[in-house]
Chain A
Amino acid sequence: MAVEIPEDMELVYSYPESLTKVRTHYCPGCTHGVVHRLIAEVLDELGVRERTIGIAPVGCSVLAYYYFNMDFAEAAHGRAPAMATGIKRVSPDKVVFTYQGDGDLAAIGTAEIIHAANRGELFTTIFVNNAIYGMTGGQMAPTTLPGQVTTSSPTGRNVQTAGWPIRMAELLAELPGVAYVTRQSVLDVPAIRKAKKAIKLAFQTQLAGLGFSMVEILSTCNTNWHMTPVEALEWAKEHMVDYFPLGDTKMTDAVRALKEGK
């Protein structure tokens, strides 16, 4: 739908072509929608929508394929990185990304993400960390904070018995095949703008064939945290950012050069 823009005006906002025009099933206040939009804007800006293949996880974003206007597959729980590997290896000219939650990526799919990253697979992972299993009703996730109450840690996560939250961005940064890993958030507007830049750099890293790229995004789940959307944003800023510090954990020189436009 081309909009006619008068000569003395500038288009500053429009609906991304990479999103379908449907209402999502996400809870009011959920940040999945924000992350979807950022990815869509980036794919539009890079002009790659028509050669992008996305892979949806099992989790609240299981139906992401309804919201992105591009080819999509729905993976088994945690297996998106393996599927992405299969797709990218037989379609090296396509842009491939996985969209995964913390249960999907950091619990059941830990082996798949580590090995895909370690092989330097040329796809991008968008990792939405909301510190909980949203879809199944708020159980403890591998990223649930110490002491955090969930339906399966009713007295708070006890690290003696349940272990510590996993910092995936730091863990993957250790692997030589990884070109770019960063942790961002969508907890306020400046953070959202930064997250978009990071997502763009991650896809550019893929397009330049520099190695595996992942953007971890600290998000909220007001429904299962039993908070209002605003309280949830505040809680995440107060508690999650301490344990999961924001910023790049890995940026190879080649990616830095790409970022600086060299």
Chain B
Amino acid sequence: MAKELWEGNAAIAEAAIRAGLEAFFGYPITPQTEVLEHFSKRLPELGRVFLQAESEVASINMVYGAACAGARVMTSSSSPGVSLMQEGFSYIACSEVPAVVTNIMRGGPGLGNVQPAQGDYFQAVKSAGHGDFHMIVLAPSNVQEAIDLMVLAFDLAEKYRTIVMFVADGSIGQMMEPAEMPPMRPVRPPEERAEWALTGAQGRKPNIITSLYLGAENMERVNIRLQAKLREIEKNEVRWKEYSTEDADLLLVAFGTVGRVCQTVVREAREQGLKVGLLRPITLWPFPGQRIAALAEQVKGILTVEMNAGQMVEDVRLAVEGRCPVRFYGRMGGPIPLPDEILPELEKLNAEVGGEEE
């Protein structure tokens, strides 16, 4: 298929449709409303389900229901709406049904604003809801990658029967870029829904989907199974991209929009004679910590750049375990860190680790 000009949010929605999405349930919130609007037009014309729910609490529980019924389903929101969905994330994770959620992150805390931000890293990666679980968290840095990851999100959700969160900041959602859509996958017919799904106990024993396990031992057994699955995901699904790391003395770590800005920083720093590389995590969970640890043996220092007060940097430090200094630069509540701000931070780090400019 040829490249076309796509707005991020519409591209995300269309990619989900191409991936065989059967139903969308959601509630309007800026800066993701175009996702919902795209679905509101496209899904009914394709004979699929679109429903504007009364709240994000309802949306996620509709997703939970449709997922229990074995349908490919998703919802989409932005930060304050995602907070409301956290009850559902926890139930979905424990019940082990596949579901996809996108968070087009905005400035916070509180009502915040509608500017692009990455302040929901902790929420997505560390505290998606009550109890012990993780979501798979995918973070694109441009529209094409958003499309590709949307398709992957459904495959991962179904492969592991888990919840997958797709996080992008508002600038990816709102920017226009040339990108290529995948071909339309056929929607799975209802008679081909998974054998665990609630499809009516016709000629078989009833299927029960629950997250209630009374008794300490019972609940622990479920937790052990969930943890084993998470370890499996950690083993198989870590994704990242590297830029100019082969000979790097200094390493940038950044995701999403800042990850993209940092590609420019690498180029400009190298023009200045600083041997800088970049690692851009694509899965925020599972986190590419092993690779960062390996690079920490090679480089003299690491600078993590984020659109928040310093969240992913904690995972970088956990991975690096003191092998080299890890510093942080961030902006909060909307501003996107620019190369002009990041370069001096790299110079500072270079001076700190006793590096020279060539």
Chain A interface residues (CB < 8 Å from chain B): 49-53, 55-56, 62-63, 65, 68-76, 79, 82-87, 89-91, 93-94, 111-112, 115
Q: Is the CB of A90 within 8 A of B57?
A: no
Q: Digit string of B178-202 for contact with A (CB within 8 Å is 1, else 0)?
A: 0000000000001000000011111
Q: Is the CB of B212 within 8 A of A89?
A: no
5 A–B contacts from the bound complex (CB under 8 Å): A72-B207, A73-B208, A79-B61, A86-B65, A87-B198
Interface assignment of B109: CB less than 8 Å from any CB of chain A: no
Given A71-B198, A86-B69, A112-B58: A91 touches B49 (CB 8 Å cut-off): no
Given A72-B208, A94-B199: A87 touches B69 (CB 8 Å cut-off): yes
Q: How far apart sit A222 and B199, CA to CA, in the bound complex (Å)? A: 37
Q: Is the CB of A91 within 8 A of B190?
A: yes
- Shortest Cβ distance from B50 into A: residue: A89
Q: Is the CB of A84 within 8 A of B212?
A: no
Question: What distance in Å separates the Cβ of A84 from its nearest Cβ neighbour in chain B?
Answer: 6
Given A62-B212, A74-B210, A112-B54: A49 touches B201 (CB 8 Å cut-off): yes
Q: Is the CB of A86 within 8 A of B91?
A: no
Question: What distance in Å separates the Cβ of A6 from its nearest Cβ neighbour in chain B?
Answer: 30
Contacts of B66 in A (CB 8 A): 86-87, 89-90
Q: Is the CB of A86 within 8 A of B88?
A: no
Q: How far apart sit A84 and B57, CA to CA, in the bound complex (Å)? A: 14
Interface assignment of B87: CB less than 8 Å from any CB of chain A: yes
Given A51-B202, A65-B208, A76-B88: A82 touches B190 (CB 8 Å cut-off): no
Q: How far apart sit A55 and B54, CA to CA, in the bound complex (Å)? A: 20
Q: How far apart sit A90 and B97, CA to CA, in the bound complex (Å)? A: 15
- Shortest Cβ distance from A91 into B: residue: B69
Contacts of B70 in A (CB 8 A): 90
Interface assignment of B344: CB less than 8 Å from any CB of chain A: no
Which residue among A50, A90, A91, A93 has the maximum number of chain B CB atoms within 10 Å of its CB?
A90
Question: What distance in Å separates the Cβ of A70 from its nearest Cβ neighbour in chain B?
Answer: 5
Query: What is the number of contacts between chain A and chain B, taking CB atoms within 8 Å?
Result: 132
Chain B interface residues (CB < 8 Å from chain A): 22-23, 25, 49, 51, 53-55, 57-59, 61-71, 73, 87-88, 91, 95, 190, 198-203, 206-212
Contacts of B95 in A (CB 8 A): 74
Q: Is the CB of A50 within 8 A of B71?
A: no
- Shortest Cβ distance from B211 into A: residue: A74
Q: Is the CB of A90 within 8 A of B61?
A: no
Q: Is the CB of B199 within 8 A of A90?
A: no
Q: Is the CB of A87 within 8 A of B65?
A: yes
Q: Is the CB of B65 within 8 A of A84?
A: yes
Contacts of A90 in B (CB 8 A): 22-23, 49, 66, 69-71, 73, 190
Q: How far apart sit A86 and B64, CA to CA, in the bound complex (Å)? A: 7
Question: What distance in Å separates the Cβ of B292 from its nearest Cβ neighbour in chain A?
Answer: 37
Known: A55-B65, A75-B61, A86-B61. 5 other contacts (CB 8 A): A65-B208, A71-B199, A71-B201, A76-B88, A79-B58
Q: How far apart sit A69 and B198, CA to CA, in the bound complex (Å)? A: 13
Question: What distance in Å separates the Cβ of B188 from its nearest Cβ neighbour in chain A?
Answer: 11
Q: How far apart sit A79 and B62, CA to CA, in the bound complex (Å)? A: 9
Q: How far apart sit A52 and B199, CA to CA, in the bound complex (Å)? A: 8
Q: Is the CB of A86 within 8 A of B25?
A: yes
